[in-house]
Amino acid sequence: MVVLKSVRPAISCSSFGFDGDQLVPLHKVSFVNLTLPASLLSVRLSSRNNAKLSLVQATKESSTASTNDSAAVFSATNGKATNIVWHKSSVGKVHRQEVLQQKGCVIWITGLSGSGKSTLACALCQALYSRGKLAYILDGDNVRHGLNRDLSFKAEDRAENIRRIGEVAKLFADAGIICIASVLSPYRKDRYACRSLLPEGDFIEVFMNVPLQICEVRDPKGLYKLARAGKINGFTGIDDPYEPPLNCELELPQKGNNCASPCEMAEIVISYLEEKGYLQA
């Protein structure tokens, strides 16, 4: 059991870091994000703290219970939303996966502009379709035509852009769909935040490791040319950093002048999915 005396903003706790009944030393309550296995979560809230707990489920089909010293409590506060309660459906992820005969997950393709993210995403989606598997692409540019059309390319808006895509990708995975997110996502902390939304193993990070020089030569959208001319500020790789993954599931490197075809790279990803059991229920 994890005992919470108080909670501070944006702290993420894993059950693997605690022993039974160990106190979590948290201060100045806002919210806590607990990532726990599918076993029952038992949380006791001290009535002295007048605490509210928001449980965001990122586990396989499991039930959670929350009690304080006097009675069961599920008064949730999540971001700016208050007094909300998670309504559980009798049809869960496992049932949807049985219908689709596959397992939902997120394939997060990251890399510089011009590294081939969208090209790989389309090739992968086509290869999965040919095998009778349901996939959906969340392309960084496409999402900005609708869901994220209100966001700019300022640092805070770029972070919100990734957060929204991560949340939508989580919903697709929960629906049993293989979600392919093709997003530049230059910052590790933003990618990690998206990873933390999903159960262990369901976030598959694919790094398109193509050097800046090659991406700039390709320049399919003419963006590097504009950035070099000073017409675009904060362009990743030119005057804004790209933080490559440190522990991605798959890395597709550029080997000299030899580049694998999109179909060949897609087969590498599919082999990983097959090995991990995502192409069957």
| CB of 139 closer than 8 Å to CB of 165 | no
Kindly list the strands in the beta sheet with 64-68, ordered across the sheet, starting from the edge strand earlier in the chain: 23-24, 2-4, 41-45, 64-68
CA-to-CA distance for 64 and 191, rounded, in angstroms? 27
Token reading at 32? 């806590």
Catalytic member of 185, 196, 261, 271: 185
Quick check: is 185 catalytic? yes
Contact 158, 165 (CB under 8 A): no
Q: Which amino acid is at 141?
A: D
Active-site positions read 185
